[in-house]
A = this chain, B = another copy of it.
């Protein structure tokens, strides 16, 4: 097959790619940092690149013969004259000759700031794998009829009463050398009192386990010392599958539309996990083992699609009605069967999933928050790339998942980006002047006056902030429409007559243009928050719950949003603001708890089956609730500008709360 040379500037990455690969695939192959929020489906328009060399003619952009396939409809939609000449969507064109490209700052993905840290976990230590020290009588010619394994089994029975122990095959392979190296004193790791999964020479004090939370966007790993239950190290990374689709549905599509799509994504994740294992165990290497081999137990949570892809299960059936997973209960799999480089005889405990759209990560949240032990009526909102809701208390719990769209992650937002350096993460707007101040990731201070702070875009938490602030400062009304009466240089109209708000002037940014919040951005956020609100409202109706005692914001993203802004926007039904709080990455906390205590595994198994999954989207009231929830609720007389705005516009829409 023909291969062509492809060069990406400014990184200078270069290499040969086969004819017919898209530029996005080429960038992925060459390790070039290129944004692709939609996973290469031509729907986000984020992967713009400029062709620097590789044209035959230069006359007319549409008829131009280049070393790329011709302009597509998708490109016509996204690429505007303002983007400059020779700009293409990397996902939409294929390589047909040698070519040199430039990736503009705006199209670079950047390294996500990972916000999944573990909080202190308080759970009794009762792990699946326990270590036992034994001293054996060395064999003699008079004690012939006992093999090495049988000698260990006999000693474990005598010293600890452990009977009918099986032994993992990999343990048997090393047994003879380990026994002799340890001079017949060994440390034996036993899984659930049933199976020997490791034998180490001599007395080994430390036992490590690892809990892993695979998010759609971010993967977090927590290394625990199992005797103390302490999280001794935390590592995280972008989910390497992001290159194949930013959201769950694009990855399912990738698996469906590529013969080896599933294998590729599975391998990317497993390679990534092995990298993380290598890093996280750098300080605990002993006995000449690779660090990962010191880890004798592992738990893992993820949403249902990631669960299936990790296990190599075709995710297509969970993507279409009736949304049936291959397996929903928890399962223990030998690490070596997965190619995960912990102790090869150990098991990976995969927590159960709830249903086609509510995954093991939500089960992690459930067992971490233990709402099934509470009297209070609690709503847990887990905002990752998907939105998942849990509602109830000890009497009953319902769960659902909401199609929030990716607005909270910065996608479908004109200047949206992930939480990476350069992203605006917090915003306030002066209600009198409509002048903003904002904070940029990577900069220590809030920005209040014109200076070069190299803002690049807006991440999810700031989108919530800015829309809430635009409302409270009267820039938009409760239906989300711009107030035409306000006289501010920051409120402008584009050539189609659509209003937008300038959050940062071009000279404050690193991208050389104004960072703005458009009418479309406001609408996208309204859709996202409306879906969450309507979902919660319908679950409350279904369960006969009239008011919430507590609202818990879970998920890495949940920890960083401003709860007042979220409440202003109406992301969730009314609740005393003091009873609204963030718990951080509760899914990861659940994985850690299940690692440290096998009772939590049983709890997860039972509660995942006990709770009721509600398919909100098929509820006949959903559309009505959703439409109503799109509005921004009027918080009585709290915000003077809003009051003025409402009076001025003479709105007839009934205020809901």
Task: Name A's B-contacting residues (CB within 8 A).
Answer: 139-141, 143-150, 167, 169-170, 172-173, 175-177, 180, 311-314, 317, 321-329, 331, 333-334, 336-337, 353-356, 609, 613, 615, 618
Contacts and interface: CB of A to CB of B under 8 A. Distances in A.
B337 A148 contact: no
A141 B618 CA distance: 10
Copies held by the complex: 2
A321 B141 CA distance: 7
A177 to B, nearest CB: 7
17 contacts: A141-B615, A144-B322, A144-B356, A145-B328, A145-B355, A147-B325, A147-B328, A147-B353, A150-B328, A150-B329, A167-B331, A169-B331, A169-B333, A170-B337, A172-B311, A175-B327, A176-B326
Given A139-B322, A314-B176, A327 B144 contact: no
Contact of A173 (B175, B311, B321, B329): B311
B149 A327 contact: yes
Contacts of A147: 324-329, 353
Given A167-B327, A169-B337, 18 more contacts: A141-B321, A141-B322, A144-B324, A144-B355, A145-B354, A145-B609, A146-B324, A147-B324, A148-B317, A148-B325, A148-B326, A149-B326, A173-B312, A173-B313, A175-B326, A175-B327, A176-B324, A336-B337
Given A311-B172, A317-B176, A140 B322 contact: yes
Contacts of A618: 141
B144 A176 contact: no
A150 B327 contact: yes
A332 to B, nearest CB: 9
A397 to B, nearest CB: 13
Contact of A326 (B145, B172, B334): B172
A176 to B, nearest CB: 5
Contacts of A311: 169, 172-173
Nearest to A334: B169
Nearest to A147: B328
A314 to B, nearest CB: 5
B323 A144 contact: yes
A334 B355 CA distance: 30
B177 A314 contact: yes
A613 B144 contact: yes
Contacts of A615: 141, 144
A171 to B, nearest CB: 10
A615 to B, nearest CB: 7
Nearest to A612: B145
A145 B313 contact: no
A102 B313 CA distance: 56
A331 B172 contact: yes
Contacts of A173: 311-313
A417 B93 CA distance: 70
Q: Which 10 A-B pairs have the closest CB atoms?
A: A147-B328, A149-B327, A147-B325, A141-B322, A139-B324, A147-B327, A176-B326, A148-B326, A169-B333, A139-B322
A173 to B, nearest CB: 5
Nearest to A348: B169
Given A141-B321, A141-B322, A618-B141, A327 B613 contact: no
Contacts of A326: 147-149, 172, 175-176
Contacts of A167: 327, 331
Contacts of A175: 313, 326-327
A307 B319 CA distance: 48
Nearest to A325: B147
Contacts of A333: 169
A613 B144 CA distance: 8
Contacts of A314: 176-177
Among A140, A327, A328, A337, the most chain B Cβ lie within 10 Å of the Cβ of: A327
A25 to B, nearest CB: 26
